[in-house]
Structure 1
């Protein structure tokens, strides 16, 4: 293998009675990646993450973490200690203080003094809760509680972090704070697998993305490759004058595959199949034709649009 793999699964399947939640999944995540797992509810994301965290036994298939086989029995306790798993519904102990809560988990992971105390200060600083260390958990905001949950998940310095819907229900500022922490952890060399419905967050964080549908991993690729293959190039342009001359010029361009006038504006979104050079050529020709453009920028369909398009393909 060219890259060292943090996660490698072979034929991973989980069946509950007659229902197959995860179906024959071959997943590969390179060391140091932030891998985003997306898909509708019921696609199998949580079950897959639970198997990777050794919280669920696969029906069939194999899991390798950093090249070592992961088993749910007692055969590799050291490997399990290197995993950090944040489920989407992990309860906090409201009557404990932030410090006592983290200290409790640090002791469970057998962190010894003076390292334990040092590590508590490190994670509190990372999740920006140092000034709340003596506060009871029930006084924290939802965003703070989620950051505390993350601190508990990384207290033992795992090599692999598994996060199931970590930003659900958080406001935009809390989500931004959470994103910054994830970026810091990746810079420190941690491999992170994260499932989320907030695709704008994933697009900003992830190096690679996997898309799940009905238990199958239907797509797994680097974000750059996914955009290259599945994202149409678009140009947003607007004019100070009448739209008609602009639209007639667009109709004459062979590289314009279609366009949409954005309601109530002089703005047009154009699907464009050309290169960056072709974009520049089109801009030149519009200016030459005397179109008073006041906006012209190239963009790409975002991750959400790609995902919705793929969903329609699966359904049809």
Structure 2
């Protein structure tokens, strides 16, 4: 079965005076994906998301949402109603209660009774703020306010969710709660594009990632492909014996490319080019050489390391 494209852009470009914020971007995101957009400040992530949300007019290029062309004029209001957009600085009306705030937006999206009340209860349960429905927004914590902003963004059941830095400034528990909600929305069939500087969150959430640099989309691939292509395999090996004996054995293995000594645990972190079978062979050879191995842990470079590595490539 051929997967449908939720987002497709052709030559998408945005220029402000002489500054090109987004430069000739061809982006493809499949329906049902969680797509992470990463890059340094000023890379063009927010401008790209604003164009996808029809909040910014492209200078040139085209945007297609589920196969339909997205235009900023009044020609496709039904298509725009299928988008949910959460900017990174969206203000909340702090003098309203949680219920009244969501009810206000539900009415703006023309949700009628009895569907409107039912939907308000659904999103309050989703964001776990049912017990705060009569509380003033001013009394909520930052994490609660961010979850409420997300509830406002999905109140009309969009098919595509565009989130710009949604976990910025949140503590680890609030970020975890936010991640869980995103997972529920994905399971419900929503396509989600999310930009974030918290790469560990994206690595846990995303099916694919795009990396932006100076307005260009320099990388776009599934997370699995990115790891296979760019992440080095590493093995952490600890010994109860002499480190020199461990290093002497490692030098004999053709898959060991380089290593770094971790002095705290009498350990070595090895960059390893082999497959799983080669890892097993290495461990077997160490034991046969009477090296008292106390830890042998295979791992992979994380998304942050890949991103920094790609950034250095672009700069050089």
TM-score, normalising length: structure 2:
0.99
The residue that corresponds to 1:296 in the other structure is 296
Name the CA distance, whole Å, in 1 between partners of 2:89 and 2:250.
51
Name the CA distance, whole Å, in 1 between partners of 2:242 and 2:166.
47
The residue that corresponds to 1:15 in the other structure is 15
The residue that corresponds to 1:144 in the other structure is 144
The residue that corresponds to 1:103 in the other structure is 103
Secondary structure (helix, strand or coil) at the match of 1:182 reads: helix
How does 1:152-231 map onto structure 2 within 5 Å? Answer: 152-231=152-231
Secondary structure (helix, strand or coil) at the match of 2:135 reads: coil
Name the CA distance, whole Å, in 1 between partners of 2:41 and 2:286.
45
The residue that corresponds to 2:44 in the other structure is 44
The residue that corresponds to 1:135 in the other structure is 135
Secondary structure (helix, strand or coil) at the match of 2:265 reads: coil
Name the CA distance, whole Å, in 2 between partners of 1:85 and 1:164.
8
Secondary structure (helix, strand or coil) at the match of 1:118 reads: helix
Gaps of at least 5 residues in structure 2 are: none
The residue that corresponds to 1:29 in the other structure is 29
Secondary structure (helix, strand or coil) at the match of 1:186 reads: helix
The residue that corresponds to 1:256 in the other structure is 256
The Cα of 1:236 is off from its aligned counterpart by 1.1
How many residues align? The count is 316
The Cα of 1:151 is off from its aligned counterpart by 0.2
The residue that corresponds to 1:63 in the other structure is 63
Name the CA distance, whole Å, in 2 between partners of 1:222 and 1:2.
16
The Cα of 1:30 is off from its aligned counterpart by 0.2
Residues 232-257 of structure 1: CA distance to partner in whole angstroms, max 9, x if unpaired?
Answer: 01111111122111111111111100
Secondary structure (helix, strand or coil) at the match of 1:58 reads: coil
Name the CA distance, whole Å, in 2 between partners of 1:157 and 1:8.
21
Name the CA distance, whole Å, in 2 between partners of 1:254 and 1:83.
52
TM-score, normalising length: structure 1:
0.99
Secondary structure (helix, strand or coil) at the match of 1:168 reads: coil
Name the CA distance, whole Å, in 1 between partners of 2:180 and 2:262.
34
Name the CA distance, whole Å, in 1 between partners of 2:291 and 2:3.
51
- When the two chains are superposed, the root-mean-square deviation of aligned CA atoms in Å is 0.8
The residue that corresponds to 1:72 in the other structure is 72
